[in-house]
Amino acid sequence: MPRLILFELKKMLSRRVALAANVGVVVFLAAIMALNVVQTKTANARGEIVSGTEAIAQMRADAEEHAGTITAERAAADIAAYQETVFSRIDRDAVTQMTGSAVYDLMFQSFSDEEVYELYNPYWSWLLRPWRVAREEPAQTAARVTPEMAADWYGAAAELTQQTLDDGQGGMWEYGQAERAYWTELRAGAPEPITYGYSGGWDNIVNCAAFLVFPILAACVTLAPTFSFEYSSGADAVVLATRRGRSSLVAAKVVAALAYATAYFALCAAIVVGVSLAFYGAEGFGLSVQSMALSSPYPLTAGQAALACVGLMYAACLGFSCLTLALSSRTRSTLSVFLTDVVLVLLTGLVPSAGVGALERVLALFPINFANFSVLYTALESYPLGPFVLDLIGMVLLVYAALVLVSTPVAVVSFRRRQVA
């Protein structure tokens, strides 16, 4: 059996198309992650645009400037300090009547570049998030916050979940009572107090997780001929006539395919994770996901959120690998198998939901769509199954586990029952 597995691995990886796809994707990922570092840009306190490792260092310094535990008392005190600084030079009532762009210009007219830089530190937008309105400047949000509102910062943060539920994803989904109870209970389990800090490496992993669709496609290219090539070349007549053709050989093909998919995905994931942590830093693993997005109801750390995203992409890789084997066992055309994979893996990202909540939830199950921080952790994607509710993470695991469990036997049985002349 081990020899058969090694033989099948050698056979699938020796094809020129498969070799080109596998090597090409690894090179592409290495290049795109290098560009991810080089093209990172931000502004420093002098208003200069810096890039690369200097930009990353600047973002780390900005986050660490306000790092620490955010108690209700600290939140209220920091908001009061921000208000005192801003409204010592601009009129508090006037900014509420102005447009966001006008307030932005006013800030530069009223403060030095260094002062504006500090007042636009991402910490302030994060701290004022419970009351922020779309396209609103931090100063405008701060103008509406009273001391009583600031004192109930954690209550206002928890209310973000209820606001999302009431909004119903822009009116395209009406959450049932079971869904509301699920999300409310999940939010109640979020850790308090929140610790603010830098978690750039873990944040970057989630932002770059969508690139892992390319290893999934490379795996599909490699596995598409597993059975169909035997049919098109006529080798099935010889293989299936041997003593192990309908037993050990089939098992070896499946084991080799899954071993290859696992090893190759691990290599590609290591590039994404390794570059992110090497250049952006591994600190912040234990910070709660709320330090990245205050509206997230998940009781996860930043590191757990990043690794969970990579894990879901691996589940999708296994699912599509097994689907590819099943399709390959049912047709002589390798091209048709691969085109099906391309449509499901890649082109589903181009299909609009058109404001239809049910369609949006179906599309969210494809890797190009769920490999997104907002979709995965803040959009409150839920799937009511009678009295039970699954979130997007649970549904993705369920769907791809089912795909593995259904497709694998289909591939095995189809090949074993193949009738040859």
406-421: pLDDT as tens digits: 999 998 887 676 555 4
For 109-146, how does the pLDDT look when each residue is reduced to its tens digit (9 = 90+)? 999 999 999 999 999 999 999 999 988 999 999 999 99
Q: What are phi and psi of 219, to 5 degrees?
A: -65, -40
Which pLDDT score is estimated for 370? 95
Which pLDDT score is estimated for 241? 46
> Is pLDDT above 90 for 2?
no
CB 232 within 8 A of CB 336: no
Amino acid letter for position 81: A
Which pLDDT score is estimated for 4? 76
Band of the pLDDT at 170, cuts 50, 70, 90? confident
Amino acid letter for position 82: Y
Mean pLDDT is lowest, of 182-196, 226-240, 285-299, for 226-240
Phi and psi based region of residue 355 (left: phi greater than 0; alpha: psi -120 to 50; beta: remaining) = left
User: Mean pLDDT across the stretch 51-56?
Assistant: 95
What is the 8-class DSSP label of residue 350? G
Torsion sign (Cα): 254, 260, 263, 267: negative
Band of the pLDDT at 239, cuts 50, 70, 90? low
Return the bridge partners of 196, or none: 68
Question: From the centroid of its chain, how far is CA 250?
Answer: 35
Please give the Cα distance from 421 to 338 (Å, whole number).
27
Long-range (24+ apart) CB contacts under 8 A made by 3-6 are 4/244, 4/248, 4/249, 4/252, 5/252, 5/255, 5/256, 5/259, 6/256
C-alpha closest to that of 414 among 310, 294, 332, 311: 332
Please give the Cα distance from 219 to 216 (Å, whole number).
5
- How many alpha carbons fall within 13 Å on the CB side of residue 134? 0
User: Mean pLDDT across the stretch 300-311?
Assistant: 97
Share of the chain above pLDDT 90, in %: 78
Higher pLDDT, 308 or 238: 308
Chain position carrying tokens 């005190």:
77
Distances (CA, A) of 115 to 79, 93, 198, 272, 309: 16, 21, 21, 36, 37
Band of the pLDDT at 238, cuts 50, 70, 90? very low
In sequence order, the 6+-apart residues with CB closer than 8 A to the CB of 150 are 75, 76, 79, 80
Please provide the average confidence, as pLDDT, over all residues in the chain: 91
Torsion (CA) 175, 177, 178, 180 in degrees, nearest 10: 60
Which pLDDT score is estimated for 232? 60
Which pLDDT score is estimated for 417? 67
Which pLDDT score is estimated for 237? 45
Mean pLDDT is lowest, of 17-31, 37-51, 237-251, 316-330, for 237-251
